[in-house]
Structure 1
Amino acid sequence: MSKTRREDCFALRIQELVTALRTPLPLSFSALVSTSARGAGRDRFVRNVAVEVTLGNDLTGTLHIVPGPDIVPQAVRLEARRVHLGGFRAFAVCPVYGHRVATLYMPPDGTRFLSGEAHRLSWASHHISKERRLRLRLRDLLVRLGARHLDEIRKPHRMRWTTFDRLVAECERMDAEIMRLEFRRVGIDLGQNPDAPSRKTRTANASIRNSMEIEP
C-alpha cells in the first residue's frame, strides 16, 4: 500500500462537479475547478484544472480534462443513476480498472486523474494506531451525544432511547478497549475481554488519566 494518502491528493468529486450548475439533463459545460494537495510538510498548494463535462439523458457522458501544466489531456467516461427521490448521482469510470468511482485523484507528483485504487492510494486511517483510531471514533460519538467526556453524557433532545443506549454502550466499549491498550503499553495485560475498571478507578491513577483525555 502506498504511503500517499487520498486526503493529500488533488481530487475531482464527480457529483459536486456535475451538479454545480443545478441544471437538468442534458448537461454540457466547461469549468475551471480549483483543487488542492498537500506538499512537503503541512503546506497545501492549489492547482486549477480546466474540464469539459457532457452528460446526456441516457445517463452517460464524458469528462474531458484539458491539458495544462503537469496535467495530461484525458477523456473519462461518466455514468449516472437515478435516485429514489428524484435527480441523479454521477460517477466516473476509472480509466485503468473500469469500475465506477465518486472521486478521481491525482497525487502531488502525478499528471493523471485516476481512481484511488489505480494510484494505489491509502486512507489517513491506515496510518494511525488502533488506539488512536478508537480515540477518534470515541470523540465523534461524544460530539454526537453533546459531551466531551463519558461522565457528561446526556440524552440529546429528540434522540430515541434505543439509539441513545446503543451509542452509550459503544462509547463504554471503546473506552474500555482504549484503557486495555494503555495498560498493555505500561506492561499490564488485562486480557482480550477485561472486566474494565470504572472511570473513577482510572481517575485515581494520575498518569493514566492524563493520557486518556479526549482532544476537543
Structure 2
Amino acid sequence: MQDGLKLDLSSLVRKQFIKPGANIGVRGIAWTHSYWGEVATGVIGADMSGQAEGWLCIQLGSLEQRIMLVSRPRHFGGRQWYFVCPATARRASVLWKPPGASRFCSRQTWGRQVAYASQFLDRDNRAHHARSKLNSRLCSIGGFDPEEWDVPPKPKWMRWRTYDRMVDKFDRYEAALDFGCYVAAKKLGILAD
C-alpha cells in the first residue's frame, strides 16, 4: 500500500494545497519516496467554499479524477471535511492509488488486493523494523547519527517521560529479538534443554 500514491485530506490542508472555505486555483503536487526520490507529479485543484459540499480535481499523467468532498459538523464547532470514495460512496480521510490502479479510492475498495509491507513481516522482522524506526526518529530529533547509537541520548527539549517511554519500547523490541535468537538457536540444536 505504501508504494502507491496517497491523498490525505488533513495533510493537503496542512500543506495548503487545499483550503476549507475557499476555492483555490490549480497547484502542482508531487509524491516522493525516501529511497527513490520523486515518484509522481501532477496538479490539484479544489473548491471547498460550500458549507457542506465541495470537490477536488486531480490530474496525474493520463489520470483526471474529480472527487466529491463533504463536511460534517464537529462536536465543539467547526466542520470536518471528508472525501467521498468514488467506488463505495463512503466518507474517507485518505484515498489510495496502488501501483497499476487507474484511480484513487478508499482502502476498503482495494480490499485484499493491497496490504502494507509490515503485514508480510514475521515477529522478528517487525521488531527489527520498529527498532530501527524508533532509533532513526530519536536520532533525527536529537541530530545524532543512527549508525553510532542503539539508543541515542535524550534530546535536549524532549520530556523525560516521553524519552523513557521510547526507551521502554526499544527494550521490548530488543527482548523480542533476543527471544527470536533463542528460539532459532534451540531449533538448530545449538542450545541444550
Give the TM-score of the pair, scaled to structure 1.
Answer: 0.61
2:7 pairs with one of 7, 12, 19: 12
Is the CA contact (8 Å cut-off) linking 1:10 and 1:36 kept in structure 2? no
Cα distance, 1:107 vs structure 2? 2.7
Q: Which residue of 1 aligns with 2:150?
A: 149
Matched, 1:64 2:65: no
Equivalent residue pairs, number: 176
The equivalent residue for 1:174 is 173
Match of 1:193 in 2: none
Instruction: Write out aligned runs for 1:71-90 (5 A).
Output: 71=63, 73-80=64-71, 90=81
Note if 1:103 corresponds to 2:94.
Answer: yes
Identity across matched positions, percent = 24
Unaligned runs of 5+ in 2: 189-193
- Separation in 2 of the partners of 1:98 and 1:104? 12
1:25 corresponds to 2:21: yes
CA separation of 1:158 and 1:48: change in aligned 2, threshold 3 A: closer
* Residue 125 of structure 1 pairs with residue 126 of structure 2: no
SS of equivalent residue, structure 1 residue 186: helix
Distance change in 2, residues 1:188/1:161 (3 Å): farther
Which residue pairs with 1:114 in the alignment? 105
**1:107-161 residue CA offsets vs partner (Å, 9 max, x unmatched):** 33221111122123211211222212112222333442767225xx544434444
RMSD over aligned Cα, in angstroms? 3.8
Change in Cα spacing, 1:58 to 1:177, as seen in structure 2 (3 Å) is: same
TM-score w.r.t. length of structure 2: 0.67
- Please, which runs of 5 or more residues in structure 1 have no aligned partner? 1-5, 190-216
Residue 93 of structure 1 pairs with residue 88 of structure 2: no
- Deviation of 1:102 (Å): 3.0
List aligned pairs for 1:45-56, cutoff 5 A: 46-56=39-49
Structure 2 Cα separation of the partners of residues 155 and 67 of structure 1: 43
Counterpart CA distance in 2 for 1:75 and 1:163 is: 42
Contact 1:15 1:91 in 2 (8 A): no
How far apart in 1 are the matches of 2:79 and 2:125?
37
Structure 1 residue 50: deviation in Å? 4.3
Q: Which has the larger radius of gyration?
A: 1
**Cα 1:16/1:161, change in 2 over 3 Å:** closer
The Cα shift of 1:29 comes to: 2.5
Instruction: Specify the code of the residue in structure 2 equivalent to 1:172.
Output: D
Match of 1:136 in 2: 129
Supply the distance in 2 between the matched residues of 1:132 and 1:67 (Cα, whole angstroms): 35
Separation in structure 2 between the aligned mates of residue 67 and residue 113 of structure 1, nearest angstrom = 11
Report if the CA contact (8 A) 1:52-1:64 is conserved. Answer: yes
